[in-house]
Amino acid sequence: MTDRGADHTMIVAQGRYWRAQVRKGASNVSLSLLRESLPAELEEIRDLRIDVPFGDWSRVVKYARADRKLLGGILLDFAKNKDRLAAAIGDDGLYVELEQLVVDSTVNLVRAGLLSLAPAENAE
């Protein structure tokens, strides 16, 4: 994880297109697209930001590698620009990187002590 300095924002994970960050004292993870990296045909979605509360992060993790539509539906609840989310989830390159970003973010959040893992209820 990287500290961004004066605004006390930590970059939890970053890829070519996506960044996950947490502001000091915040109770959510912000997923955002990196504007400068997007291909020209995706410029219209460049202001997409998704703020997922820590309490809902397990739902995102559960569906990150399971089902594109379910993940999109969950993220829709937290997206600031809901109209842009479908285009981001629909693009194969952005979606694959988002899947990996969720996994990397989860590992780094646990390591930083911001998130804890617990066994699922009713697990067999």
- Name the token pair of 15: 């890829």
What span, in angstroms and rounded, lies between the C-alpha atoms of 124 and 121? 9
Give the tens place of pLDDT for each residue, 86-116. 999 999 999 999 999 999 999 999 999 998 8
**What is the band of 42 on the pLDDT scale with cuts at 50, 70, 90?**
confident
Cβ-count burial 45-67 (b if 16+ within 10 Å, e if not): bbebebebeeeebebbbebbeee
pTM confidence score: 0.85
pLDDT, the chain, mean: 88
pLDDT of residue 82: 87
Give residue 43's pLDDT. Answer: 84
